[in-house]
Amino acid sequence: MDTTTVAVEQTVALAPEALFALFGAGRAAGWLFGARCDDVHVGAPVSLRLPLDRDGRQDVEVLGRLARVVPGVALDIEHTQPWRGRIGLRLAPAGAGRTRVRLRAEVPTGGLEWLLHRRGIPLPEPPDDGSLRLGAITNASGPGAVYSLSAELMAELAVAEINADGGIAGSPVRLVTADDGTDARQAAAEAVRMARLGCHAVFVNSTSASFEAVRRALAGRDVLVVHSVLNEGGGVSPTAVRFGERPRAQLEALVGPTMATTGSRRWFLVGEDYVWSHGVHAAARHVIARAGGRVVGESLTPLGTADFARVIERITASGSELVLSSLIGADEVAFERQSEAAGLRETVRTVSLVLEESTLAHIGERAGQGLRTALAYFQDGPLAGNDDLVRRYRSAYGAWAPAITALSETIYESIHRYARVRHLDAAGGAASHGRALMRRRTGAADVIGTRDLVAPTLYVAEAVGGRLRVVGEAP
């Protein structure tokens, strides 16, 4: 992969050991692009904010893990969002109490294209090589980037495996990817671009708002739209398929057992002011009431909220004993970290519907301890064939690639299933392929388990020691 190297150097009025000790936490963390890292060790998650303009309005969050740590001397960060790259930091004495800081960033061609596209410059169009094109829209930036860390990698892995097996009906498959920035309008624009490039199907691994925008943008075109992450349902047609967990099933698996375990009844609902949380909270009111509980408050904040102080104050004032969070990505990270810092975790039990391994890693072990969720896939889960999937993924992308999660594994299975449907019906259109996908409710040898992606079996997991430990299967 072609890369461009960017190197900068600066002298700081602190000794190397003192400067190194400031990395990732506290008010002084900003000395390296506002880095956040709770515990500096190899494998620890890191987030940085890179400034793309002088006024800070175009900052972009870079998410990765520490690949090398030499205290007082060196740090290397491998990241996948918003592009795949590596950042190296070297510290060297520069006189008494001073440090020469050298930063080296490797930016691949895909990263340069992302930066140019962010500035409004069109992406280069892939050459017409006779391949069958599929599109994948993910959240490489914006609030959803945290939960989307491995989605593009899993889509790539599926396509690589399909091509290794001969492609689809003898044709090689080419994946066209795009970042919607967790923005529905951008998702729609990217979907139209993919249709223009000849993509036969577009897999939307993004928010419900983005799925709906893509579905509308591609209406009347012979392009299948597949929503490959958990969603509230609706919007299904022969050319628009939705896979993944549904909130009603998640709530049934979490609400009653949590109330029985804690003896608590009073719930506060926390979410974002868009279609996903509206659907979740409507279902939650019904499930909670049927279980003998009561909703005593609700907060709906704009997508991309970073300060939850007033929400936490409202939760405390409401006298609620339980919190249901439908927040996603960076918003969920901020809310849970601030809840723990405010002492809310000592009196209130929280369940979160969009809590998977990547989000938990950025919440942190301490702030995440005891959180519960219910999803159809966990990287450490019990599904048959999962160990082999993880092995193939690590072999392809390395030890520090982000975890496979419920919000990325489904795009892998979706692409494999589409390939099988199209292989059997090469001349069919989007509607016939969509109907076939909805009928094919079980897996096969090249995907894990034997799963119904339309209504998958759920597993309940609890955050313990920074990991999601499966504690049971939903009835």
Residues in contact with 256: Cβ distance below 8 Å, sequence separation at least 6, in sequence order? 287, 291
Give the mean pLDDT per block of 10 residues along the chain (475 residues): 82 90 66 81 90 64 94 94 92 93 90 85 82 96 92 97 94 96 96 96 97 97 97 93 96 97 97 96 98 98 96 97 97 97 94 97 95 96 90 94 95 94 93 88 54 90 96 91
pLDDT score for 121: 84
Residue 171 Cα to chain centre, angstroms:
31
Q: What is the CATH number of domain 3-109?
A: 3.30.530.20
| 156-180: burial string, b at 16+ Cβ within 10 Å, e else | bbbbebbbeeebbeebebbbbbbbb
Identify each DSSP E strand in 302-452 by its residue range.
Answer: 322-325, 349-352, 372-375
What is the spatial distance between Cα 244 and Cα 34, in angstroms, rounded to a whole number? 35
pLDDT score for 472: 93
pLDDT score for 235: 87
Measured from the Cβ of residue 234, the count of other Cβ atoms closer than 10 Å reads 11
**Whether domain 132-245+407-439 has CATH 3.30.2310.20:** no
Q: Of 387, 458, 385, 460, give the one whose Cα is nearest residue 416.
A: 385
Q: Of 411, 409, 405, give the one whose Cα is nearest residue 468.
A: 405
pLDDT score for 49: 82
pLDDT score for 119: 81
Measured from the Cβ of residue 255, the count of other Cβ atoms closer than 10 Å reads 24
> Does 247-375 match 3-109 at the fold level?
no
Q: List the beta bridge partners of residue 45.
A: 65
Written as six digits, the tokens of 342 are 């405010």
What is the residue extent of each domain of the chain? 3-109, 132-245+407-439, 247-375
What is the spatial distance between Cα 272 and Cα 353, in angstroms, rounded to a whole number? 13
Q: What is the dihedral of CA 319, 320, 325, 331, to 10 degrees?
A: 10
Place of tokens 């704009």: 302
Residue 100 Cα to chain centre, angstroms:
36
The 3-state DSSP class for residue 466 equals coil
What is the spatial distance between Cα 167 and Cα 161, in angstroms, rounded to a whole number? 9
Angle at 397 between CA 203 and CA 58, to 5 degrees: 65
Q: Are strands 199-205 and 224-227 parallel, antiparallel or unpaired?
A: parallel
The DSSP element (H or E) to which 214 belongs, if any, is helix 208-217
Q: Are strands 266-272 and 294-301 parallel, antiparallel or unpaired?
A: parallel
pTM above 0.85, yes or no: yes
Measured from the Cβ of residue 6, the count of other Cβ atoms closer than 10 Å reads 12
Helices marked H in 12-150 — which ranges? 16-21, 109-118
pLDDT score for 87: 93
What is the spatial distance between Cα 134 and Cα 174, in angstroms, rounded to a whole number? 6
Q: List the beta bridge partners of residue 170.
A: none
Q: Which CATH class for the 247-375 domain?
A: alpha beta
